[in-house]
Amino acid sequence: MTAGFEVRRRCVWSVRILCLVLALVWCAGAHAQGTKAPSSKAPSTAPPKSGAGGGYGNSGGAKTKGKAWVAPPRNDVKKKGAGKAGGKYAKPKQQSPNKQWQKPFAKKPSAAGFVDFGATDAAPTPPPTPSWDLAKPKRFVVLTPRSIQLDGGAVQPAENPIVRALEACGPGSTIVLDAGDYRPFSIGFATADDNNARTRGGAPGQPVVVAARGAVRIHGGTLGHCIRVAQQIQNGHFTFRGIALHGATQSAIQLARGGTHVGFRFEDCPIDGGYDHAAQKGLASANGIDAHGVIDFAYVGTTQPVTIKHLRSGDGIRLVHTQGDVVLERVVGERLGGALVRVTSPSADGPPGLGLVFLRQCVAHDVGLSPDAGHKSAYAFTFTGRHFGTIALDRCEYRSGFEPALLGLTQPGVAYGLGAVQVTDGVDHARTETFVLHACDFRAAPDTGAGALVSIGGCHMLRIEGKSVFVAGKSGLAVDLDPRGEAVAGGLRSLANGLTRVAPDTDVTGALRVRGVAVELRHLESYGLR
């Protein structure tokens, strides 16, 4: 009994196991029949041909021209029989032949279904790094007017070698120019140009030095500038040494408006505009230096005075909206159409001036000679308000009317030139913070000088120190403090000066006047606000 029961039990379990295996085999076959392996080929966005699950409708002309596209059957929608129409699937509903378009399926596949979403996970390719942002090595470069040699390598031809050298050099580099005439160039413009160096320049304490070895000259020519700098590509810290700048019809050196120009230094770089005021002929030259927004700027003569001369109508050095310290040392201006030095910060196009503007041993000989202003266009040293810092002239000189060749510029009895120094608060009526004259020597010949030799107003603090000498010319007025205006009777031309101190040993030849009233020098030893 027991043995028979055990045999039957084993048979039952064998049958059950056999059924389970058959069931698993059947399920696996059904799954394989309904599932296809994914294709490695990218899906096509083109509509399938007729008979491939989709096609063209019957509207339109011959062949496929004008036929409307019919979307393929959806795999994710339960398929229904064709009914009485016969066939496995129902045909798409046809539009009238008069219809120009066919209503799409409610769930027509969109173009989004063909986007490769895997590609969107990849990091975007960054744009190439501009050449001016790449780190540049410290190099020693030798140039001729038509060639360049990098670090003692092969000599290569170059149309504008200074541009190529500047773009190849990093902080601390030295570029040596052999004797000859070089093409004008610019720095810092974003546009690609054979005459423009797209470079960042040097670094604090490591300027890029461009130095002449022999007689080197850059002629402005048709470009109008010898050296022109912009900040479309931020750059700074350059030193130019021993390079003569000639014949610029706009500016020999221009540091253009827009941004700040940091660390530009010019040593022993004379400027010649090429105009003869006595003969009244020559190049139509304008400014020597036109500099906007400078910080740590210097134009100096080192071994000997550096000259700015023969400018037809412009200023020798024009500083606009200075934003840091400026040093002008041992500069001689001769026969200039405008001022030797003009400092201005009008509110219409920029911020107030900042920093120390220091002039040491600067000499002006016969300036303000522009023929367009009757040879009386400007004072030698002209300052126009909104400067929040100190402007100081140390041992500076002015001479006018001692050149016989120039005395015929105006009618007999009418003086040419204006005077040595003029300080006003400008159109903004904003004072200069501190103005200092130290041991200066200003002299006008008897037949020159249509205005006061020294005219100062609109200063918070005014100091005339050391053994200064002021000799009036044709006007007979040596010093005019808080000058009265000509347009408003009795009114001051500028806001009144604040604390004013004039050294008692100042040598004044001519009249001394305060607010239109004649005074003596002893009255100005400590003259404050009233």
Measure the CA–CA gap between 330 and 396, rounded to whole angstroms: 9
**pLDDT at site 12:** 56
**pLDDT at site 413:** 62
Instruction: Please state, rounded to an integer, the average pLDDT across all residues of the chain.
Output: 83
Domain boundary assignment for the chain:
247-524
The 10s digit of each residue's pLDDT in 367-390 is 999 998 888 889 999 999 899 999
19 band by pLDDT with thresholds 50, 70 and 90: low
Q: Could you tell me which residue, 511 or 348, shows the higher pLDDT?
A: 511
Measure the CA–CA gap between 337 and 416, rounded to whole angstroms: 12
Q: Could you tell me which residue, 24 or 117, shows the higher pLDDT?
A: 24
Element (H, E) at 423: strand 421-424
| Across 297-317, average pLDDT | 96
| Across 156-172, average pLDDT | 97
- The dihedral region occupied by 442, where left means phi > 0, alpha psi between -120 and 50, and beta the remainder, is beta
| pLDDT surpassing 70 at residue 307 | yes
Q: Could you tell me which residue, 245 or 412, shows the higher pLDDT?
A: 245
| pLDDT surpassing 50 at residue 211 | yes
**Percent of the chain at pLDDT above 70?**
75
288 in Cβ contact with 311 (< 8 Å): yes
**pLDDT at site 349:** 85
The 10s digit of each residue's pLDDT in 265-298 is 999 999 999 999 999 999 999 999 999 999 999 9
Which pair of structure tokens corresponds to residue 45?
């966005």
294 in Cβ contact with 256 (< 8 Å): no
203 in Cβ contact with 169 (< 8 Å): no
Measure the CA–CA gap between 288 and 246, rounded to whole angstroms: 9
**pLDDT at site 143:** 98
